[in-house]
Amino acid sequence: MSPVTEVGMNGASRRTWDSQHAARIIEGLKDQQGASLPILHALQDQFGYVHPDAIPLIADALILSRAEVVGILNFYHDFRQAPAGRHILKVCRAESCQAMGCEALVAHLQQRLGIAMGETTADGSVTLETVYCLGNCALSPAMLLDRELYGRVSPERADRILAAAMGTEAPQVAR
Partner 1 sequence: MTRVFIPRDAAALSVGANDVAVAIRREATARGLDVEIVRNGSRGLLWLEPLVEVETAQGRIAYASITPEAVPGLFSDRFLEGKPSVGHLGLTEEIPYLKNQERLTFARCGVIDPLSLSDYLHHGGFKGLRRALTLGSAAIVEEVTASGLRGRGGAGFPTGIKWRTVLNTAADQKYIVCNADEGDSGTFADRMLMEGDPFSLIEGMTIAGLAVGATVGYIYIRSEYPHAFETFRRAVVLAREAGYLGAALAGSDQRFDIDVRLGAGAYICGEETSLLESLEGKPGIIRFKPPLPAIQGLWGKPTVVNNVLSLAAVPLILEKGPKFYANYGMGRSRGTMPFQLAGNIKQGGLVEKAFGLTLREAIFGFGGGTASGRPLRAVQVGGPLGAYFPEALLDTPLDYEAFTAVKGLLGHGGIVVFDDTVDLAQQARFAMQFCAAESCGKCTPCRIGSTRGVEVIDRIIENTERTRNLALLDDLCELMVDASLCALGGLTPIPVLSAVRHFPEDFDRPAPAPLSDAESSAACNPRTLSR
Note the residues at the interface with partner 1 (CB under 8 A): 4-5, 7-9, 32-38, 40-41, 62, 71-72, 74-79, 92-100, 117-118, 129-140, 142, 144, 147-152
Minimum CB separation from partner 1 for residue 126, in Å?
16
Cα 57 to Cα 70: distance, rounded to the nearest angstrom: 12
Distances (CA, A) of 171 to 82, 83, 145, 164: 21, 18, 14, 10
DSSP 162: H
Minimum CB separation from partner 1 for residue 46, in Å?
15
Nearer to partner 1, 53 or 78 (CB): 78
Nearer to partner 1, 41 or 86 (CB): 41
Strands 87-92 and 143-145, how do they pair?
A: antiparallel
Minimum CB separation from partner 1 for residue 1, in Å?
16
Type of residue numbered 148: E
Minimum CB separation from partner 1 for residue 34, in Å?
4
Do residues 19 and 60 lie in contact, with contact meaning Cβ atoms separated by under 8 Å? no
Nearer to partner 1, 16 or 164 (CB): 164
Distances (CA, A) of 151 to 25, 55, 90, 134, 160: 35, 37, 12, 10, 13
* 125: helix, strand or coil: coil
Nearer to partner 1, 163 or 173 (CB): 163
Minimum CB separation from partner 1 for residue 63, in Å?
11
Nearer to partner 1, 118 or 167 (CB): 118
